[in-house]
Structures are given as structure tokens and as C-alpha cells.
Amino acid sequence: MVPENTMTATPIRPVGARERFDPPRHPERIGPPRSSRLFVSLLSAIVSFTAAASDPGSTGGPWPEFRGPGRSGIAAGGDFPVDFGPNTNVLWSVPVPGGHSSPVLWGDRLILTGFETNQLVVMALDRRSGKPLWRTTVEPGTIESGSRLSHPATATPSTDGERCVAYFASFGLLATDADGRELWRHPLPTPVTQHGASSSPVIAGDCVVQLCDQDVDSYLLAVDKRTGKPRWKVSREAFRRGFSTPLPWPPEHPTQVVVAGTLRLVAYEVANGTERWSVRGLPNEMVASPVTDGDRIYVAGWTHGSGVPRMPEWLSLTEQGDANRDGQLTREEAPNGPARQHFAYIDADKDGQLTRQEYESLAAIFNEAKNVAMAIRPNGDGDVTRTHIDWRQERGLPYVPSPLVYDGRMYLVKNGGLISCLHAKTGAFLFQEERLGALGDYYSSPVAAGGKVLTISQAGIATVIRAGDALEILARNSLGEPVLATPAIGGTTLYIRTQTKLFAFVGPPVESVPTGSR
């Protein structure tokens, strides 16, 4: 039985490359309907996103990219309910195609990507009712190989109010207008990586910037946001297997994009891709994305390979295991230890053989890698490692979830259900590796609004805490399904993608929870 306060939208039928739907007609739930002529007139491509943004009404402000405005994870002036779940404070819920990407919001639209029936999907819903508006589909190329949890629709789309840009590793970049019509496409080769691809596209100035770090031939690409034509491409050969999303800097009018990758954080000029400044001291691969509070850039990362004791010499490994004396090692030949444990990572071209070059290049990375959280002043030129790092910490580090910097504090969520809080200016721990009471791994990044912080475990347990100097858990809510996507917040509505559904939660009008003292 559908709960009384739940609206379940009609499932979307996959028919053709782009399917249109009648606009929602539920005035008792969502206010006066928009004229259907907006969806068929020649002006719709110009009006839909932009007009809605100028008068969002009850829908709240935009959440236009991964982790919302400025990629901060914060809905300024927004809020979300403390208690929610499949039968609690549900505004609506709809079935959606599979995927790990997050919803983005602009005006009355919610945009989401997915993958079903061997098609890559970009779809729009009315964010107040969950009713489908349109979907655009494209055929994938070679689906990227990946781990058990990887998915062809992992990167979150990005919008600037005039266009929506999506990235699929098996296709490349795709831009649509507000009505789902394709504006341009920029095909890209399927990346070579063990875990699939997840870095989301970034709209910065007149460019769309896409990070494509992989096991071989990594690069950073910029295309014209209006045409999809290439602006520049920078080789990142030294950067192995990255999953982080770039951070435009400064947030209001970006002239740089800051990228966390293998061993280094690097700022590139948006205009031409020139490297402006960099900081050393990161792990061998980065999953969490950098964030900013407007003064500093914060980055945190942990991987299993970082801090590995010095790797054995290549010749000692071949002497022990190279049975056929061909100068290479198969997985069966690799002696027990790092070579076998990290075989899939070291085997960059995925041909089932370790060469000396593959092994020694990654051994050098492992030997230098460091698990760390740090705060950096974002200016200077060249290597600013010695001059621009304000603080470092090496405990409580996240693997996948990006840091959250909210109300002067930085929150870090670690696998196992552990959360830490640091003073953002000094790096001093306010509390360290406290238990959330929700065990397991964490892939969703924390978000915040209304004096509260939300974390969600892979198992689908959403923990709401009060933002403050001490851990105060307000609620634990079971969503009933696994969650890997990061939530979105629009106004007082919380949007969460589970394994099979998209939920919109909204609570009764209450005052925001006051934050703790600092």
C-alpha cells in the first residue's frame, strides 16, 4: 500500500531516443500547473531552465552539480527533515533506472542519469511531484570494466540553467537543452581502469571540464560548453586511476579548476589548461573530491595502497616467480605480497602480465603516497607544498566520501561508520572517529542544511547529526535499500537515490536545528 503522503509517478517507458511526457497536473499538491505550451513551443529551449530559475517558488534554490552549489554539499538557507524513510515524510517516490549518479536541480526540474535496457539515459522529473517530463537516450560503446559496485551511470550531470551536461564513460560527453533535446555530443574513448569511472563534468566559465584519470593515458579535457568542440587537452600520464571531481576556483567566477589526483593536488587555468600551482603529499589514488569554504581548499584521501612498506625489488620477484623466464609475471607467478595483492592495479593495460616498467612506476608511487587531510591556501605559482599548506591530519580519513566544510568545521566520514570533526581553520580535532551507529562502507558524501549534517551508509542507513563541536545524533533512518549516490537538497526537500528508487522527503514546517557552539 502506498502511504497516504506519498505520490508514486508512472514508470517511464523506454521508447525511442527521446520521449516526451505531459506536464504534471496536480494543483492540489504542487500549485498552478505550468502551461503545456512551454514544452512544445520553439521558445522552450530558452525559457525552461532560465525562467524557472528566476522564480523557483516553493521548489527552493538550485542544486546544479555534484554536491550542489560550489560543490560544497551545503544548501544555504535550506533544510531537510530529521525523520524520513520509505513510509515517513515522503513527498513522492518513483522507480528510476540503475545508476549511482546524484540528482541535480534547477527551477522546477530534477535531472538524473541512468542505465537500462542497454541504453544510457538522461531524464527530467518535475521536482515537486516526481512526474516524468522527458528522457533522452544514447547507445553506449564498450561498457567500461569495473568492480562489483561500479556502474555505467556514475558521474553526476551538471547544469548552468541553459544546458545540462552528462558524462558516461562508455560514451563521452552529452549536452541537452532544458527540454531534453540534444545540443551536442563529444565522444570519448572508454577509460581503462579497474573500478570504472566516476568523475563528474564541471561547467567553468565557457568550458565543460572533464577529468579522465585512468590506469593508462590519463588526461584533463575542456570543451566549449555551447558547441562541445575541444578547447584544450592536458596529459596527466603520471596520475593513475583517479575518481575525484575537479573544483572550480574561485567559486563565483572560476578561472581555475583544482584537481586531486595521484600524489598531487593541481590547479589548472580554465582558459588554456596551463598548470598554475600544485601541492604534493596525497595518496596513490584519489576518490574524494576537494572542497572550499571560500578561503581555503580542503582535500582528504585514503587508499589501501598508501603507506605500503617499500615494495620488493623487481628482480627479486622475477627470480622467485617468473617460471617461464619471459621477464614478466602473471598473477599465478607473482609471489605473495604487494605484487600479488595489488596485481590488478599494477597491471595498467590489463593484459594479465606485469612488466618491469608497470611494476616499478607504481612502486615509486606507493613509496611516496600518503593518506592525509589538508587545508591549502589557493594561490601562488608552481609547487607550493612548503608554503601554502595551513595544516595536515592523518586520522579519520575517508576513502570515497568527500569532506564537508560547514559552519567553520570539517566533517570526515570513514568506512565502518566513523565520523570526525575538525576545526576548519586550524585542523584541530573537535571529535575524532566517533561511531555513527551505522556500520559498513560509505560511498555517499555528507551534505548539510538547517544546522544538520546527513550521512548515508551503503546499506541505506541515513544518520542525521546536529552540526557542532560534539557528536549529537538526531536520528537514524533506514531507507530499505543500498545507497551509493550523494543526496541533493532543494529548499526544504531532500532527494535521495536508492538502488531502485528516487525519494523526495519533506517534513512539517519547523525551525532549523540550532548548531552547537564553536
What's the confidence (pLDDT) of residue 304? 81
231 and 119 within one domain: yes
C-alpha cell, 407 = 559552519
Percent of the chain with pLDDT over 90: 74
The answer to whether position 517 is within a domain reads no
pLDDT grade, residue 6 (50/70/90)?
A: very low
What's the confidence (pLDDT) of residue 149? 76
Q: Side chain identity at 27, as an amino acid letter?
A: P
Measured between alpha carbons, how far is 43 from 41 in angstroms, rounded to an integer? 5
pLDDT grade, residue 388 (50/70/90)?
A: very high
Instruction: Give one DSSP letter per residue of 251-275, joined into a string.
Output: SSS-SEEEEE-SSEEEEEETTT--E
Strand partners of residue 275:
268
Residue whose C-alpha cell is 603507506? 307
The answer to whether position 60 is within a domain reads yes
Q: Side chain identity at 326, as an amino acid letter?
A: D
Q: What are phi and psi of 320, to 5 degrees?
A: -80, -40
Q: What is the mean pLDDT of residues 272-282?
A: 98
383 and 355 within one domain: no
Q: What is the mean pLDDT of residues 286-293?
A: 97
**Region of poorest pLDDT, from 238-242, 368-372, 440-444:** 238-242
| Cβ atoms within 10 Å of 251's Cβ, excluding its own | 14
Whether residue 23 has pLDDT greater than 70: no
Q: What is the DSSP letter of 179?
A: T
C-alpha cell, 6 = 506519498
Q: What is the mean pLDDT of residues 163-186?
A: 97
| Last residue of one domain, picked from the residues 368, 383, 400 | 368
Which positions ≥6 away from 182 have C-beta within 8 Å? Answer: 18, 136, 174, 175, 176
In 3-state terms, what secondary structure has residue 402?
coil
pLDDT digits (tens, 9 = 90+) for 410-466: 999 999 999 999 999 999 999 999 999 999 999 999 999 999 999 999 999 999 999
118 and 228 within one domain: yes
The answer to whether position 515 is within a domain reads no
Whether residue 264 has pLDDT greater than 90: yes
Q: How far is CA 85 from the centre of its chain?
A: 23
Whether residue 152 has pLDDT greater than 50: yes
465 and 386 within one domain: yes
Contacts 24+ apart (CB under 8 A), 507-512: 507/80, 507/81, 507/82, 507/83, 507/84, 507/89, 508/81, 512/79, 512/449, 512/450, 512/451, 512/452
Strand partners of residue 267:
258, 277
Q: What is the DSSP letter of 127?
A: T
What's the confidence (pLDDT) of residue 20? 43
| Last residue of one domain, picked from the residues 368, 392, 409 | 368
254 and 386 within one domain: yes
Q: Which domain holds residue 464?
A: 18-306+370-506
Q: Which residue has the higher pLDDT, 436 or 240?
A: 436
Whether residue 55 has pLDDT greater than 80: no
Q: How far is CA 510 from the centre of its chain?
A: 30
What's the confidence (pLDDT) of residue 61? 85
What's the confidence (pLDDT) of residue 1? 37
C-alpha cell, 402 = 568527500
Q: What are phi and psi of 104, to 5 degrees?
A: -120, 155
323 and 287 within one domain: no
Model pTM? 0.86
374 and 321 within one domain: no
pLDDT digits (tens, 9 = 90+) for 468-491: 999 999 999 999 999 999 999 999
pLDDT grade, residue 146 (50/70/90)?
A: low
Which positions ≥6 away from 258 have C-beta within 8 Å? Answer: 246, 247, 248, 249, 265, 266, 267, 268, 290, 297, 378
Vertex 70: Cα angle to 275 and 102 (nearest 5): 105
239 and 330 within one domain: no
What's the confidence (pLDDT) of residue 52? 42
88 and 48 within one domain: yes
**Region of poorest pLDDT, from 42-51, 158-167, 386-395, 470-479:** 42-51
| Last residue of one domain, picked from the residues 329, 352, 368 | 368
Measured between alpha carbons, how far is 50 from 68 in angstroms, rounded to an integer? 17
Q: What is the DSSP letter of 8?
A: B
173 and 85 within one domain: yes
C-alpha cell, 201 = 563534468
355 and 226 within one domain: no
The answer to whether position 8 is within a domain reads no
C-alpha cell, 117 = 535496457
Per-range mean pLDDT, top range of 256-260, 303-307, 351-355: 256-260
Which positions ≥6 away from 273 have C-beta within 8 Å? Answer: 220, 222, 231, 232, 233, 234
Whether residue 7 has pLDDT greater than 60: no
Q: What is the mean pLDDT of residues 262-271?
A: 98
pLDDT grade, residue 512 (50/70/90)?
A: low
Q: What is the mean pLDDT of residues 244-265?
A: 96
Helices (H) and strands (E) in the chain, counts: 6, 34
Measured between alpha carbons, how far is 92 from 242 in angstroms, rounded to an integer? 35
pLDDT grade, residue 305 (50/70/90)?
A: low
The answer to whether position 261 is within a domain reads yes
- Report the CATH number at residue 252: 2.130.10.10
Kindly report the average pLDDT of the chain as a whole number: 87
Whether residue 517 has pLDDT greater than 50: yes
The answer to whether position 472 is within a domain reads yes
pLDDT digits (tens, 9 = 90+) for 58-83: 457 899 999 999 999 999 999 999 99
Q: What are phi and psi of 38, to 5 degrees?
A: -60, -25
Contact criterion met (CB below 8 Å) for 455 and 441? no
Q: What is the mean pLDDT of residues 262-267?
A: 98
Number of compact structural domains in the chain = 2
Q: What is the mean pLDDT of residues 125-149?
A: 89
Q: What are phi and psi of 389, to 5 degrees?
A: -90, 120
Q: What is the mean pLDDT of residues 194-200?
A: 85
252 and 114 within one domain: yes
pLDDT digits (tens, 9 = 90+) for 42-51: 233 334 454 4
The answer to whether position 137 is within a domain reads yes
pLDDT grade, residue 84 (50/70/90)?
A: very high
Q: Which among 327, 325, 332 is positioned nearest to 352, based on CA atoms? A: 332
pLDDT digits (tens, 9 = 90+) for 89-107: 999 999 999 999 999 999 9
Whether residue 317 has pLDDT greater than 50: yes
The answer to whether position 282 is within a domain reads yes
